[in-house]
Structure 1
């Protein structure tokens, strides 16, 4: 007779619901193998089944203190016993200890249920500093959010730390590859994906990302090989199915993407998402199934009635019918095309709203278009990024300047925006140091506004809304530097022409004094004189109050 003999007897007794006998046999097994923590756990389990929660916890504490302190699941068992005894504070303490010390996570789902019970009983949420079995998961989720918000540089930094601490965390490594890709570090992205596939050759996310990377670098042989493999892949998990569907769409295999998106729509967890109906509609449209596409966009409209996106594409389908267009190709991005979005902002007479600046879809699509859009799209994006003006924008533009194959004109535009951002940053610092340089005036006189209105009426028709706002900002900054000693403004056309000339110069557009003067009906020397006055005021911004001399003449 040994421990195994009594263990078998105990199990047979349990099958017959003979708990007293089972407890006796498990205790005999402990006598034969006192250093085996499993035997002790069996005793604790039987005691708990018999309602002796206190006795069960005494055995569990003995295991942790005397037998094997690595048996962290004992804390979970103790939490359940305490809860059954109505000792909810003690149950919470044991549960938190389990979550923070257990690396296997065998009872994570059950722990979540117990946590909800404790929340109800204690009338407060349970505070858990970290979940050891999900170490890196919280950080990874934050990194994913950063990627979705277009904050790729921050995402890279966080994901690099996660991968360093957990080299086998393949999801983090896949997302790190994407973050490298979005920031233009293509070789690093490819190398990271290869590291994923070395550990797990069949990793679907890695294979999908690699196929996109091959297409980007024009490696058609490798790209076709992977596409052939992915085309016959039928994922079981919905997350894998979504990844494959989007990848096939990006690779131009719209029929395959359409099939996968339709499968996703049959899942109740996904079929209430308006963006998924948009993706399905795009795949249908790009495959030539226009009636089906219209149906999916109408469903997207029902789920997201406030969105203008479905209406825009439905109108495009109607236009296709009228014009007899045979093929209509659209983007999978769940937002309006760039040209349409810019047009609407201008028609509404507004700049990009704060909400739009924070919108992760818009931000990430801007950064994507900066890398992969057509030249005219890239130019529009570069100008628009000046309105967002945060550290991610600076990093994106600086990375853009390092691309050897980018057009020189686009790089000049990017440099100009970076200069504007730096200038704006300096102006903010100046305003904090010297009240005279504050670009906020207590009153705005009609004569000052008349200069702006005159400029808007006469400006080059190629000047967009963003340029007009820059001119208005320049005028406000000029006046604020003179305040409170601002003289009368009389030559409205002269000031307006000078403002247009300087704004164009700041934007890299080559105007002559004569060209600007002709639009305003004044002499070129007048434009030059007023432009020089504006320049002089801004050049003097670093002088002290004692050395600063505002104009004394009537202007």
Structure 2
């Protein structure tokens, strides 16, 4: 290589950005209050220089200012591990602990900063943290002040549960209750994790144990109510709800738990009362809080609050945009109609017969409970669904279909037929659900036999006529045919075709 090329290579190499380069750009962006830019630069700086404590500290400060306190704690702790004597890192550890409510540890770190830098630029701020922690400690018993290690183990387990990794969460929570036998939050979350992986009896026994040792534990009572609800233990649920209705907690966390529990089991008026009371007292909730407030407000007739709450939810979690409970719900649909009856939907979705499950999946797309039900980690197991079920569920979730073969065309025409029937019977009453049960029995068999569903209007009319004529006198083909805009001979033809798909029972 000649001298000229060597010089060019040296210039190129010297301009390759490193962690320090992005760190300085991040600091400049922060000074100009361009926080989005600062976040990108500092994140890149951390990726390039993961062992630089000052870069980690600055990124942790920015993350903390953005309100992501758990993440900030992890970053600042990593920085402290790299440089345990760095005074500024110690101060910001005090600050992040204070934000998280871990006041004992916040005070320890603030006092450590004062001892290292009594005249340092952050000494006054450290004293404020110490004063605040001492004032707050007066309102708590010693065993109510959480230890930072167990708190973050608990938070890690909670995040694992939210992402569906229940087995790893169970390992962490089981370890916590061994080391911290009086940390009741871990017991409650472990019970939920057990329940979600199908360990129903161990989950209940764990909560009974909590209530035996910590009588009146509101989280344990609420979790039991949820278990009774999903297990359809109506007597136990009613008894538990009677007890919960009598409880009048003062703490925000207990009011939130009660409100969310009432919302989940369908007591929307009671849920709205608790959740709205928090908002009136200045409570700034998380995404889950606004999700349940929006739902309980909508189902208790407070649509303005519902829409305001959902708007706030989308600000906190943009992925929820377009998933409002009232989205795709027909304006004529009533809250008491069957597509808005959550217990009815759940009974269909979890039914042992596939045709009944198909009905549940179809109506899910018409229900304000759609997002709530599909968000539950165990109600719908996609891997256990047949192809037909997966298609109807996908259709309800508004997935775009790529029609590639004749079966795809047949399925889309089957959906069109179902929509035509629904348009004539919405909002669904009891009679409408019986018609749909018959239709999905026919539809399932027809799809399995590769029936082409060539004329959706005629198929909808034929189904409607077969249903009505088997139950009521005076039903004429002419009247039904006119309803769907087809001729009587066409109706007769498709009645004959559909009869072939009726189940035959041995005498």
Give the TM interval when normalised to the shorter protein: 0.3 to 0.5
Q: Which is higher, the Rg of structure 1 or of structure 2?
A: 1
- More contact order relative to length (CA 8 Å, sep ≥ 6): 1
TM-score (norm 1): 0.40
